[in-house]
Amino acid sequence: MAVETAVLGGVDRPRVKVSEAFEIYCNEVAAVEIVGKSEEQKKSWKKVKKYAVEVFTKVVGEDLAMEDITRDHAKKMHDHFKGMIAPKDAKAAKKSASLGKRRMGDMSILYKRYFAHIGVEGRPNPFEGLTFNQKFKKSRLPFPIEWVRDVILKPGALAGLNDDARHIVLVCIETGARPIELRYLRKDRIKLHDKVPHILVEPSFDPDEPHEVKTVSSVRRIPLVGVALEAMKLHPDGFERYRENGNTLSATVNSFLKENKLQPTGKETLYGFRHTFEDRLKEGRIDDELRKILMGHSIDREKYGSGGSLKLYQEELMKIVYPFDPAIV
């Protein structure tokens, strides 16, 4: 840590650089907030947050002391992202406005919470108000419903994938679960022998294997029907191979889809099966609220009752279930 001192509120304090403040933020300020994350989730969280610090340091040309950051420094970072979002060269690749918005927001939060942490309240935040508005948000492409039925589920189409990756794809198709939700399944959340076979998506508070779910509404029960049930029968303890290797899973599946021409536009990814699942719910005229429950989306009203039985969920999903050849499992 820098040995020079700065006078803040009449008290001499060490001059802490941005990179050092970031480590304090991760290890002290946000420690309680990330305690429930898995090791993979913690690494991912820190990697994303650190990107803003790295960009800021590169743009201003040095690892400044937190007290030395000015509005001009913050504007330099804002201008950097402006050039990426709306480059002067019309042919240059463009980044999304949400990227700049998130990174500027990360620096603003770091600045605000670091000084609050050391007891300095009310300090003007040089990043305040420097953001970007995004008119259109990019969405992952769904696979066409018929494409999944006629191409992806065709015998032999996924045969080149290892068992865990292939079975995760099959379960994604018939549950709409996020890949990370399937990767973190444990034996106690895979209910193959219940009257209605299903999986439970919920956080883990086990200190040895903690993990979070995306939102409160993500906690849910999803019946296992069709090919998803058959695939899960082969993994009663979950998908250990990819439990802490989400990037490897995505790379494996997405490369396979590309190499085997299983993407109708060349841009669809593993996550696209979740979007296809929602399309199928809509096409099947499944009740809007039940769609949100099954997808793990929030319901914009006060919650009453249990949300319905698993038997109801199962009956509704059977209306849209894909036929399949058992050989594909």
Tell me: the pLDDT tens digits for 258-286?
999 999 999 999 999 999 999 999 999 99
216 part of a folded domain: yes
6 part of a folded domain: no
pLDDT of residue 12: 65
- Rounded to 5 degrees, φ, ψ at 125 are -95, 115
What is the C-alpha separation between 242 and 181, in angstroms, rounded? 11
Whether residue 11 has pLDDT greater than 70: no
Higher-pLDDT residue of 7 and 71 is 71
- Shared-domain flag, residues 182 and 266: yes
- The reply to whether 133 falls in a domain is no
Q: Could you give the CA distance from residue 52 to residue 8 in angstroms, rounded to a whole number? A: 25
Q: Are residues 184 and 307 in the same domain?
A: yes
Q: What is the pTM of this model?
A: 0.81
Residues 155 and 59 in one domain: no
Question: Are residues 80 and 44 both part of a single domain?
Answer: yes
The amino acid present at 318, given as its one-letter code, is: M
Of 10-24, 37-51, 135-149, 301-315, the one with minimum mean pLDDT is 301-315
Task: Output the pLDDT for position 1.
Answer: 46
Report the half-sphere exposure of 248 (CA within 13 A, side-chain side): 13
The answer as to whether 214 is a domain residue is yes
Single-letter amino acid code for the residue at 163: D
Q: Which domain holds residue 24?
A: 13-117
49-53, 129-133, 214-218, 293-297 — which is least confidently predicted?
A: 214-218
Q: How many domains does the chain divide into?
A: 2
Residues 269 and 165 in one domain: yes
Per-residue confidence (pLDDT) for residue 150, from 0 to 100: 98
Question: For residue 212, is pLDDT > 90?
Answer: no
For residue 3, pLDDT over 90 is answered with no
Cα–Cα distance between 205 and 185 in angstroms, integer?
13
Q: Which amino acid is at 168?
A: I
How do residues 279-329 score in pLDDT, each as one tens digit? 999 999 999 999 999 999 887 766 665 567 999 999 999 999 999 999 999
Type of residue found at 295: M
Are the CB atoms for 174 and 324 separated by under 8 Å?
A: no
Predicted local distance difference test score (pLDDT) of residue 136: 63
Do 105 and 153 sit in the same domain of this protein?
no
Q: What is the pLDDT of residue 137?
A: 65
193 and 70, same domain (yes or no): no
Same domain, 29 and 164: no
d(CA 269, CA 253): 8
SS3 string, the chain, reads CCCCEEEECCEEEECCEHHHHHHHHHHHHCHHHHCCCCHHHHHHHHHHHHHHHHHHHHHHCCCCEHHHCCHHHHHHHHHHHHHHHCCCCCCCCCCCHHHHHHHHHHHHHHHHHHHHHCCCCCCCCCCCCCCCCCCCCCCCCCCCHHHHHHHHCCCCCCCCCCHHHHHHHHHHHHHCCCHHHHHCCCHHHEECCCCCCEEEECCECCCCCCECCCCHHHCEEEECCHHHHHHHHCCCCCCHHHCCCHHHHHHHHHHHHHHCCCCCCCCCCCCHHHHHHHHHHHHCCCCHHHHHHHHCCCCCCCCCCCCCCHHHHHHHHCCCCCCCCHHHC
Does one domain contain both 63 and 169?
no
Return d(Cα 315, Cα 310) in angstroms, integer. 9
pLDDT at residue 93, rounded to an integer: 74
Answer whether residue 4 shows pLDDT above 60: no
Sign of CA dihedral 55, 61, 66, 72: negative
Tokens of 212: 């979070």
Residues 164 and 113 in one domain: no
